[in-house]
């Protein structure tokens, strides 16, 4: 969690909506299933509802969520949290 906090401080300008260098994938709404699937992000509907209920509305909101934070949500276990973090890392590695 300390690593993610440091990353959030270093790259905090990227998370602001409308930032010039913000990747387009960060603005994808979690309730837009077709856009999520096009980026390889597939989760069960109950997990998506849990994420949205917890305040994560876009993929960019999940960048700074740790495995522990995600696992505290209903219907999110170790495998699901790992899948979310892995997918976000892969999206971050893509060129803008």
Residue 50 corresponds to which tokens in the numbers above? Answer: 């849990």
Helix (H) or strand (E) holding 60: none
Please name the residues in contact with 21: beta carbons below 8 A apart, sequence gap of 6 or more: 13, 14, 96
Encode pLDDT of 17-72 as tens digits: 555 677 888 889 999 999 999 988 899 999 999 999 999 999 988 988 889 999 99
Residue 59 corresponds to which tokens in the numbers above? Answer: 């993929």
- CA 35, chain centre distance (Å): 13
Distance separating alpha carbons of residues 30 and 34, to the nearest angstrom: 10
Distance separating alpha carbons of residues 36 and 72, to the nearest angstrom: 22
* pTM (predicted TM-score): 0.77
Query: Architecture of 2-93 per CATH?
Result: Orthogonal Bundle (1.10)
């Amino acid at each position: 969690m300390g690593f993610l906090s440091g990353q959030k401080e270093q790259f905090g300008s990227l998370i602001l909506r409308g930032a010039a260098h913000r990747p387009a994938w960060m603005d994808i709404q979690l309730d837009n299933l077709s856009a999520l699937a096009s980026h390889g992000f597939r989760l069960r509907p109950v997990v998506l509802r849990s994420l949205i209920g917890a305040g994560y509305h876009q993929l960019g909101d999940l960048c700074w969520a740790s495995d522990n934070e995600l696992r505290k949500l209903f219907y999110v276990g170790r495998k699901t949290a790992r899948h979310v973090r892995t997918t976000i890392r892969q999206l971050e590695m893509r060129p803008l």
